[in-house]
Structure 1
Amino acid sequence: MRARFTAIAKGSQPAVVKMASYGGGVRLGAMMNYVSRAGEVEVEDDRGERICSRERLSSLRSEWEHLFQNREESRDIGVFSITMGSVPDYSSEELHALVSAALTRGLGERRFAYGIARHDDASLAVSGVVVLRNADGERLTGDTKAAGIVQGRYDGRSGTDDPTAVFSFDGYGNGVDYGTARLRRLVATFEGDVHDERGIMIENDSVAGDLVQKDWRHELHSRKSRDVMHLIMSARAGTDVDAFKDAARDFLAEQFPGHRYVFALHDPAEDPKEEAEGGKRPHVHVHAIITMKSEFGERIETRPQVFRAWRSLMAEKAREHGIQMEMTDRRELATAPAFGRNQVRPISRYGRTEHIGTSEAAHVRYEAKRSERTTVARARRSKDYTVTAQRVWNELVRASDDREVSNFAKNQEKLIETALSKGRGESEMLTSTVNFGSKYGANMVWLQAIVSEADKMREMSRPEFEAYEKRVETTLFRFERMVT
């Protein structure tokens, strides 16, 4: 640890090896097309063949086919349309109640969101997205067959006073990304006048992102094929591109023997993709598409400990080619955790790509990382590791004769102490809240139960209302005593 810290203090860059995505065999062509910039960037495979044509890249699919499971992706999100005829000129509230009830009759107990367009002939065109799996495990297929099932259920559960409705599915997709994109498109189409099955308005991209990322994702039970993975190795701007490509080549060969793969260097000076389209990134990086299964039948494991080992090996290979690089761990530097690609979306690609979080929580995480906010992991094992790192930084302060190294180490020691102090403060606050505790929780439950009686207020007699009012006053008095 001390030798690594000394190298970092002297300016060694961190080794960056990150997972971009997984994909099934059916996505291999699209992934290779991205890596090769549609055939304009030279690609090299695991056997040293340099590939410069899209035709040759396409032929690799058949060569790798025996390593693929070709497991079909689950259909998680459906895009639907409904035409409803002869609807009276209801208020907006009444109209949404009517449509939501109709959707529930047809779709059952599923999560959905919809927008309404009213036509001059009093008919309605309803568009929406729905989670295809319900709580009981039934998964609609999001196609013509599923539309027939939904139609039959609606017709069987509707009365003579209910409007006629014709259901159809317009598409389906897999995962949170697809669901978020389709819901945001719906919000844009209806200019924020979109509601979910609970009647809650989804008025902007942030609300849509939160709904899918936080609520719907737990209902999906999504299944995605993992035949190949997309790995990215990065280095600082100004790094020798040839040396870095050689280091990446050696890393891939040693780390993934028996696996089929291709890789390509994206050099900002030579990238044919324009900056506004996501090309010409200021740093040098290598993209690799690697089969998850090797010719020996072994599958790649992707755990935090494995990624740490990958970064360590990448740093070793970089040093062998004259690039000063070290494996780093955020616990040693008190930096914020990384954000995943599902948690952000790009809003500007000029220079360093700027993002916005797909939900409020995701944006907080993004801002913490981009601003290099000092943080410490909460797990006891990670905290112990951070304390050890702080001790080593302190040893470096006292032992190094190099002022630059000593100053860097002193700064890192202070950053860790700041993060640990903040963590202790948050822990004490949490403990205080817990101790504040049982009476608070009990009164919260009681208050919630009492307030929920407000739904029945219209049905209360005068004596019942006076008793209800007294219970509310008593509970509020208890809360005042607890917080003052």
Structure 2
Amino acid sequence: MEIFLGAFTTEWEQRKAAFLHDLTLGGRSQPEEERRRRGGAVPPARPADNAKISGFQSRAGGRRGLDTVHRRADRPMRARFAGLASGSQPAVVKVASFGGGSRVGAMINYVSRNGAVVVENERGDQLAGRETLSSIGGEWDHLFKNRAESRDIGLFKISVTESGGASGRADDTLFDRAREIVKHGLGDRSFAFAVTARADGSGFDIDGVAVLRNSGGERLTADDKAAAIVQGRMDATESIESAAFRFAGHGNGTDYGTTQVRALVAMHRGSVQDEKGRAMTDAKQAGDLVQLEWRDQLHSRKPRDVMHLILSARAGTDTAAFQNAARDFLGEQFTGHRYVFSMHDAGSDPKAEATGGKRPHVHVHAIIAMRSDAGGRVETSIPAFRQWRLVMAEKARAHGITMEMTDRRDRASAPAYLKNQVRPVNMIGRTRHEGTSAAADRRYEAKRADFPSRAATARSQAYEHRAHEEWRETKSDMDRGAQHDFIRSQMVRLEEPSVAAERRTMASGETTDPSSQSRTYLVKLAELVFEGDNMRHMTRPEFEAYEKRVETALFQAEKIMPPQERKDFEEIAQAAREHVNVRREIVEPIEERSTAKDPDQLSHGPGSNTPHDDKQRWDAAVARHGLAATDEANTVLLDIERTREAIERVTAERPDDVRALQKELCTHISKAAELAISGNAIVREVAEIDQDLKAVLQALERDRQKILQQKTTTRAHSTEAATTGRGTPHGEQVRMPVDGFETETEGASKDTAAKREAGDTTKSEPVKQHGSRLEEIQRDANQQNGRDQDERER
């Protein structure tokens, strides 16, 4: 049968048709594909076959895996960096999990929201409803190996009978005797156990948890056959009078092992030891034993018949375009594989926000069979993941979405955290988490805060050096402005080794003044805060670059801040981050401001003429901001509108009542402004057209900014005084602001009091008040750095 590729409208449909047609003609026989997958030599059949099939080199030097397209060359660094500087979003393609064939139904139910969301398969068929989706597992069953997961951890019990009894023995002696017996039976396997002496003195019982694999690779199956093997070893030992061994259960992985060892510790009230005689008295020690020591011994494996893949984009991305890009990506990258995918976004996700649905960003879930109809398997190596991001970015750009493939080394980004390293602390969108341990929490915070993290290997360090040079060249090719600021921040991230070298120099005892470095970063931070005065004139990319520069300055200052000054620095850092968070919702993309005003006003807003319009705006606001924030904003804004209407009514009839209503209106406006300051985006949007609310909101923001500026300047004064051994100019004693109110310096209190007596209550502008002082600190810092450099050179 001849296939006309022109009959198919999309590229991925043409590729699939050509692939299936090739199979029907015998171009790729099943045995040939199996030999190719296993690494055997396959004589070239036709040039066309070689053009369509390309394998990947394994670590052992043979061919492994099967891909249906050639691996693309990377997009040039400079092109990618220019795109990122212009506001392109990174391509996010990640594997959420793997599962066996028995899990495919549950995984499809999850991505389809139990049949409520339409899913699409590799043939382009739209599937909906639980009954229709339940048939997918049967269609894919021939692709599954249905391999059982490994048995890694075994529970065992030993009943020991000895003529000498155990009632008179000390606890240590009893544990030593029990450990000896267990080692005879299990060999060199790791285990934890507890001993209970019988009341009649006839012997004792051992309860334990053991790793089923020994150092030589032999794995016990934790069944009757394995129990007979262990029993035979114990019977053959002359020192064991009578002992009955049996397995009580088994499981897979460290999670199972951690649960069982902790249960053993809890049952025996902390009287548990391991094969080395170390005691475990609490759940933490039990968890550390399994997670840190047993993990590498398990060689755990689970079936990988299906893969759960997630493709995501920023909030606000065109959903239809992203869905088309995802369709093209899956069709090209997984040709010949069975898969289904579905789109989730905040507007169409039927799952409630309170239970983890309606995520703010748009994303696609794909369930993919790891084995294709031709016998090849999906490769899940680091180069393959890079290839996926590259193809996803290409498809997104083809559909009008600015997206680039990114490498962690391009920006010295922190490593990703694993799903078992964090747990959600709120279910609303599941956007906030905390680490499961101190180390995991540090890793999570580093990733979320986007702290720089340099590579450790020589090869990756060379890559980062090349990336730094490409950022520099990209900067020279682009016009000045926000793009320059963004590129400069990326170059700073890649220059972190110089700061690390300074810290090593300090630790070695050479002359380097950390206070001078901290002053430099504090001055830089103050300059960044003052830069925020023009925040309303920034576009979204400009604001994001500004935010990253603030975080970089905080990170650099924290690394070299002396321990005795860290507490004060944390106050400055918190104030700086609050400043950024307050202004985050102010900055809106220019495109949004030029297209429409107040896209989701509530019932009080202009243009709300009918109940239908009000309902639509309410639903849109809830979808974007959540029910709680929408209801809170609606309440306070309605109070403002009702009070204004009352003022209009009584102005002509009862003029004396107007003043009381105006005071009430001021109270409501102040309450709304405070709500906006706390992060309510709806009130901020209304403030853009409500001049009274806008004026109060700007006044509150200026007050907060003044406090932040005074904290930063005061901290710089204190650091300089500690370094030089002298007080501030004119004998002033600087005090930090308390409870949000500005305090005066001791030397200036008399002048201020005199001004207040004379009726002069004018406050000086913070920039004018502290600008000269910051310049003086900067000069001192430069001079001190010059002296430090001279001393190092000598």
Tell me, which stretches of 5 or more residues in structure 1 are unaligned? 431-484
For 1:348, the aligned partner's letter is V
- Are positions 1:395 and 2:439 aligned together? no
Note closer, same or farther for the CA distance 1:50–1:410 as it changes in structure 2 (3 Å cut): same
For 2:423, the aligned partner's letter is P
The answer for the alignment partner of 1:217 in structure 2 is 295
The answer for the alignment partner of 2:234 in structure 1 is 154
The answer for the alignment partner of 1:111 in structure 2 is 190
Shift of 1:115: 4.3
Shift of 1:230: 1.8
Question: Do the aligned residues in 2 keep the contact of 1:275 with 1:349 (CA within 8 Å)?
Answer: no
* Segment of structure 1 superposing worse, 91-100 or 135-144: 91-100
Structure 2 distance, partners of 1:326, 1:141, is: 48
Any idea what the Cα deviations from partners look like across 1:263-300, whole Å, max 9, x if unmatched? Answer: 22333455455667654444332221212222233322
Note closer, same or farther for the CA distance 1:426–1:334 as it changes in structure 2 (3 Å cut): farther
- Are positions 1:129 and 2:209 aligned together? yes
* Segment of structure 1 superposing worse, 420-429 or 48-57: 420-429
For 1:139, the aligned partner's letter is R
Any idea what the Cα deviations from partners look like across 1:192-236, whole Å, max 9, x if unmatched? Answer: 554321122345555444433443233223343332222121223
Question: Do the aligned residues in 2 keep the contact of 1:334 with 1:419 (CA within 8 Å)?
Answer: no
Any idea what the Cα deviations from partners look like across 1:123-181, whole Å, max 9, x if unmatched? Answer: 86654321111123321111233233333433443646x6x654332332333444344
Q: 2:368 aligns with which of 284, 287, 290?
A: 290
* Segment of structure 1 superposing worse, 362-371 or 51-60: 362-371
For 1:75, the aligned partner's letter is R
Note closer, same or farther for the CA distance 1:195–1:9 as it changes in structure 2 (3 Å cut): farther
Structure 2 distance, partners of 1:174, 1:364, is: 28
The answer for the alignment partner of 1:306 in structure 2 is 384
Relative to total residues, which structure has the larger strand share, 1 or 2?
1
Structure 2 distance, partners of 1:24, 1:191, is: 38
Mapping 1:288-367, distance limit 5 Å: 288-342=366-420, 344-346=421-423, 348-350=425-427, 351-357=430-436, 364-367=442-445
TM-score where L is the length of structure 1: 0.76
The answer for the alignment partner of 1:78 in structure 2 is 154
The answer for the alignment partner of 1:21 in structure 2 is 97
For 2:425, the aligned partner's letter is S
- Are positions 1:245 and 2:323 aligned together? yes
Counterpart of 1:389 in 2: which secondary structure?
helix
Counterpart of 2:279 in 1: which secondary structure?
coil
Note closer, same or farther for the CA distance 1:60–1:326 as it changes in structure 2 (3 Å cut): same
- Are positions 1:386 and 2:464 aligned together? yes
Counterpart of 2:222 in 1: which secondary structure?
coil
Structure 1 distance, partners of 2:326, 2:213, is: 42
The answer for the alignment partner of 2:172 in structure 1 is 93
Structure 1 distance, partners of 2:309, 2:302, is: 17
Counterpart of 2:484 in 1: which secondary structure?
helix
Q: 1:169 aligns with which of 240, 247, 257?
A: 247
The answer for the alignment partner of 2:181 in structure 1 is 102
Counterpart of 1:381 in 2: which secondary structure?
helix
Counterpart of 2:415 in 1: which secondary structure?
coil
Counterpart of 1:265 in 2: which secondary structure?
strand
Shift of 1:424: 9.5
* Segment of structure 1 superposing worse, 84-93 or 295-304: 84-93
Q: 2:109 aligns with which of 30, 33, 47?
A: 33
Counterpart of 2:494 in 1: which secondary structure?
helix
Note closer, same or farther for the CA distance 1:103–1:228 as it changes in structure 2 (3 Å cut): same
For 1:59, the aligned partner's letter is S
Question: Do the aligned residues in 1 keep the contact of 2:435 with 2:442 (CA within 8 Å)?
Answer: no
Shift of 1:249: 1.9
The answer for the alignment partner of 1:142 in structure 2 is 222
Counterpart of 2:97 in 1: which secondary structure?
strand
Report sequence identity in percent.
Answer: 51
Note closer, same or farther for the CA distance 1:237–1:193 as it changes in structure 2 (3 Å cut): farther
* Segment of structure 1 superposing worse, 283-292 or 176-185: 176-185
* CA RMSD after TM alignment: 3.4
The answer for the alignment partner of 1:447 in structure 2 is none
Question: Do the aligned residues in 1 keep the contact of 2:454 with 2:496 (CA within 8 Å)?
Answer: no
Note closer, same or farther for the CA distance 1:376–1:45 as it changes in structure 2 (3 Å cut): same
The answer for the alignment partner of 1:377 in structure 2 is 455
For 2:224, the aligned partner's letter is T
For 1:56, the aligned partner's letter is T
Question: Do the aligned residues in 2 keep the contact of 1:180 with 1:212 (CA within 8 Å)?
Answer: yes
Structure 2 distance, partners of 1:266, 1:182, is: 37
* Segment of structure 1 superposing worse, 392-401 or 408-417: 392-401
Structure 1 distance, partners of 2:291, 2:450, is: 24
Question: Do the aligned residues in 1 keep the contact of 2:167 with 2:199 (CA within 8 Å)?
Answer: no
Relative to total residues, which structure has the larger helix share, 1 or 2?
2
Structure 2 distance, partners of 1:128, 1:275, is: 44
Note closer, same or farther for the CA distance 1:154–1:285 as it changes in structure 2 (3 Å cut): farther
Question: Do the aligned residues in 1 keep the contact of 2:424 with 2:431 (CA within 8 Å)?
Answer: no
Shift of 1:252: 0.7
Note closer, same or farther for the CA distance 1:139–1:10 as it changes in structure 2 (3 Å cut): same
Question: Do the aligned residues in 2 keep the contact of 1:110 with 1:135 (CA within 8 Å)?
Answer: yes
For 1:288, the aligned partner's letter is A
The answer for the alignment partner of 1:443 in structure 2 is none
Question: Do the aligned residues in 1 keep the contact of 2:98 with 2:306 (CA within 8 Å)?
Answer: yes
Structure 2 distance, partners of 1:32, 1:188, is: 38
For 1:148, the aligned partner's letter is A
Counterpart of 1:168 in 2: which secondary structure?
strand
Counterpart of 1:44 in 2: which secondary structure?
strand
Note closer, same or farther for the CA distance 1:29–1:379 as it changes in structure 2 (3 Å cut): same
Note closer, same or farther for the CA distance 1:139–1:47 as it changes in structure 2 (3 Å cut): same
TM-score where L is the length of structure 2: 0.48
- Are positions 1:47 and 2:123 aligned together? yes
For 1:200, the aligned partner's letter is R
Tell me, which stretches of 5 or more residues in structure 2 are unaligned? 1-76, 509-794
The answer for the alignment partner of 1:409 in structure 2 is 487
- Are positions 1:227 and 2:305 aligned together? yes
Question: Do the aligned residues in 2 keep the contact of 1:105 with 1:158 (CA within 8 Å)?
Answer: no
Counterpart of 2:495 in 1: which secondary structure?
helix
Structure 1 distance, partners of 2:122, 2:301, is: 29
Question: Do the aligned residues in 2 keep the contact of 1:261 with 1:290 (CA within 8 Å)?
Answer: yes
Note closer, same or farther for the CA distance 1:5–1:134 as it changes in structure 2 (3 Å cut): same
Note closer, same or farther for the CA distance 1:412–1:83 as it changes in structure 2 (3 Å cut): same
Note closer, same or farther for the CA distance 1:115–1:40 as it changes in structure 2 (3 Å cut): farther
Structure 1 distance, partners of 2:335, 2:209, is: 44
Q: 1:255 aligns with which of 290, 315, 333?
A: 333
Structure 1 distance, partners of 2:129, 2:270, is: 45
